[in-house]
Structure 1
Amino acid sequence: MTLHDAPPVFGAVRLGYVVIETNRFADWRRFGTDAIGMHHDALSRHLMRFRLDDRECRFLVRRGPAEDVVATGWHLDDHAAFERIEARLRAHGVPVTAGTDEEEALRGVERLLRFPGPKGITQEICTTPVKSAEPLRMLASGFVTGDGGMGHIALTSTKPAETRRYFHTVFDARLTDYIDETISGIKVKIRFLRVNERHHSIAIAAARGGLPIDPVRTRVQHLNIQAATLDDVAQSYQRVHELGFDMALSVGQHTNDKELSYYARTPSGFEWEVGWNPVVVDESTWEPTTHQGISIWGHLPVGRTIIGKLAQFQAGARSLGRPESTVPPLSGAGAGSAPFRR
């Protein structure tokens, strides 16, 4: 069997964990536990983890200067899917690095492989997530993970087509839909990609008209997790306010996946979306469409000032001279012989 004849991995992939690098450990602990309501495990002065469910690790937070997401981890159903992705990477000449025993233990996984990803975010694949025997200690009643994974990651990009091709080539990602929006006078198109039944595990936002502008300082624009109940969303929203963390967008409901959510600003500067009850894709009937605007209602900016808007424009201007990493072997025009699955 050739590489191109191998079975697809769509449906066998889910977002499993995220690695964050920060020097603001005390703020992140308060944000994660007291505001968002996750379970916290302190591993050392330089490492901590947050849990959402029975998995040992959903967020690995390590000490360092990035103040950003530095890696995303994708759980594979089995070793066969892991090996199919590894074969793709090697066939495209992409450097891959096997994780050490210590790295696997920190992430609570087996068989870890690391390789370069868009915007300099390292991508990791793994098998056999380890379950924790320790009961959850958290303010939230629970979070929705399961077959759809733990949520999604959203990026801003000056090269959205290349970023989309990357995730199609590696994970057989499918286009779910688009949103057209105008933000601060700039027309933006957002592409939503799925790798399983979750409406999207990756969102890619880009200025329309070919403008090579990226107004977001961090590699990610936001992370999303899905609360188990509407009460969990409301209560964590209140805690974010009461504890003095910045709110980016108020509670609202999205046009495409119908998720009700809010966006807080993390201690590292990127946003954190807590959502509830998004639609689940039915592969037999789903057709991509374009929605106008990100929200049916709500999601209003909170505390935005003219100074903040100017800073955003300045960041966009600086991005004009900053090349964006796209991993050409996986995202170039020739990457992946199969057409995009609509």
Structure 2
Amino acid sequence: MNAPVPGGPSVFGDVHLGYLVIETNRFADWRRFGRDAIGMHHEDLDADHMRFRLDQQECRFLLRRGPAEDVVAIGWHLDDHTAYEQIAARLRTHGVPARAGTSEEAAQRGVERLLRFPGPKGITQEIYTAPVQSAESLHMLSSGWVTGDSGMGHVAITTTKPALMHGYFNNLLDARLTDYIDETISGIKLKIRFLRVNERHHSIAIGSIRGLPLDPIRTRIQHLNIQSTTLDDLAHSYQRVHELGFHMALSVGQHTNDKELSYYARTPSGFEWEVGWNPLVIDENTWQPSTHQGISIWGHTPVGRTIITKLDQFRTGARSLARQEIVVRQLSGAGLADI
């Protein structure tokens, strides 16, 4: 399952979650959420674009004006041009259309160059090397965020075709299975696969309903995660989210598999934003995939969830039956079966 794709060396370990592109018309709310609640560095580029930083890399979140209210692109930072060309070759070999980003797109993302191509659920995937380092000092409420070799965090995506999505990231990035979580919520059985591309426990989580081709989440991602440097930073951001009136999705808790302490806030666009602290780091020499029962050891209690919320999710799931989920079959292959 974890072998390199035929025709080239593995890029595992050379790949890091680098940035996300969010399309929204709620700039004022997002500015308050990202800068004043979560505590990131904020920068307005122009009337239609703004960015958030976590570190010296010029861009970690690019927000562009538009109606999607969703994450529309994921940027993967590659260590060198060799890995970049290896992935570009895979796209050509599998017949996946790709185009070079324009100089304007590269500048907005704070990178020298990028390649864009289709991804599952219509989320454009982008690869780049050599991110631009900002000379401007960070101005943020947090004391820092964990990025570096681990990348900047993770994304969680719900799908009706988990094996195909797993196959896509395995064939593209040599993603390795870390573990599974089985969970039952309101009588519905969920299975979540956690995939890593480096030492971080997971950069991608793939959630699905067992036995039913339903997707109850409106947005393309269910949540994204960033990692606080200190427990105090996590606690202070949690307090600011409450004080500024943003909705909390899940209270503070600890996960069963990566042991991360975290909370989940609801963003102005509707998907969730997890702020975490101190997840375990994978030792490739000893790690073996396993299955955990339940998402949390303790906490992560739903906040403000009502029968109306559950009905809305049911309606979204029912509508997904009539909607064909976007897949990229050239890279997904036949998918990867459960262990």
Is the aligned partner of 1:260 residue 2:251?
no
- Correspondence for 1:197: 199
- Opposite residue 14 of structure 1, the aligned amino acid is H
Alignment deviations for residues 63-92 of structure 1 (CA, whole Å, 9 cap, x no partner): 000000000000000000000000000100
Is the aligned partner of 1:56 residue 2:30?
no
Is the aligned partner of 1:36 residue 2:38?
yes
Give, in whole Å, the separation in 1 of the partners of 2:60 and 2:54. 7
Give, in whole Å, the separation in 1 of the partners of 2:149 and 2:186. 37
- Opposite residue 202 of structure 2, the aligned amino acid is H
- Correspondence for 1:293: 294
CA drift of 1:147 comes to 0.1
Give, in whole Å, the separation in 2 of the partners of 1:289 and 1:322. 33
- Opposite residue 195 of structure 2, the aligned amino acid is L
SS at 2:276 equivalent: strand
The 5 A counterparts of 1:225-264 are 225-264=226-265
- Correspondence for 1:214: 215
Runs of 4+ in 1 over 3 A off after TM superposition: none
- Correspondence for 1:90: 92
- Opposite residue 321 of structure 1, the aligned amino acid is A
- Opposite residue 38 of structure 2, the aligned amino acid is I
SS at 2:28 equivalent: helix
- Correspondence for 1:273: 274
SS at 1:11 equivalent: coil
- Correspondence for 2:306: 305
Give, in whole Å, the separation in 2 of the partners of 1:175 and 1:6. 20
State TM-score, norm by structure 1: 0.96
Give, in whole Å, the separation in 2 of the partners of 1:148 and 1:237. 23
Q: Give identity over the alignment, percent.
A: 76
CA drift of 1:332 comes to 2.3
What RMSD over aligned residues (CA atoms) do the two structures have, in Å? 1.5
- Correspondence for 2:122: 120
CA drift of 1:110 comes to 1.7
Give, in whole Å, the separation in 1 of the partners of 2:224 and 2:253. 16
Alignment deviations for residues 81-124 of structure 1 (CA, whole Å, 9 cap, x no partner): 00000000010000001011111111111220000000000000
Is the aligned partner of 1:180 residue 2:179?
no
Alignment deviations for residues 165-205 of structure 1 (CA, whole Å, 9 cap, x no partner): 00000000000000000122210000000000000000000
CA drift of 1:6 comes to 1.6
- Correspondence for 1:106: 108
SS at 1:88 equivalent: helix
SS at 1:226 equivalent: strand
Give, in whole Å, the separation in 1 of the partners of 2:15 and 2:63. 23
State TM-score, norm by structure 2: 0.97
SS at 1:4 equivalent: coil
Alignment deviations for residues 119-147 of structure 1 (CA, whole Å, 9 cap, x no partner): 00000000101100000000001000010
Give, in whole Å, the separation in 1 of the partners of 2:112 and 2:176. 27
- Opposite residue 156 of structure 1, the aligned amino acid is T
Q: Tell me, which stretches of 5 or more residues in structure 2 are unaligned?
A: none
Q: Tell me, which stretches of 5 or more residues in structure 1 are unaligned?
A: none
- Opposite residue 13 of structure 1, the aligned amino acid is V
SS at 2:170 equivalent: helix
CA drift of 1:60 comes to 0.2
2:153 aligns with one of 151, 154, 157: 151
Give, in whole Å, the separation in 1 of the partners of 2:8 and 2:206. 27
SS at 1:8 equivalent: coil
2:79 aligns with one of 66, 77, 80: 77
Aligned residues: 336
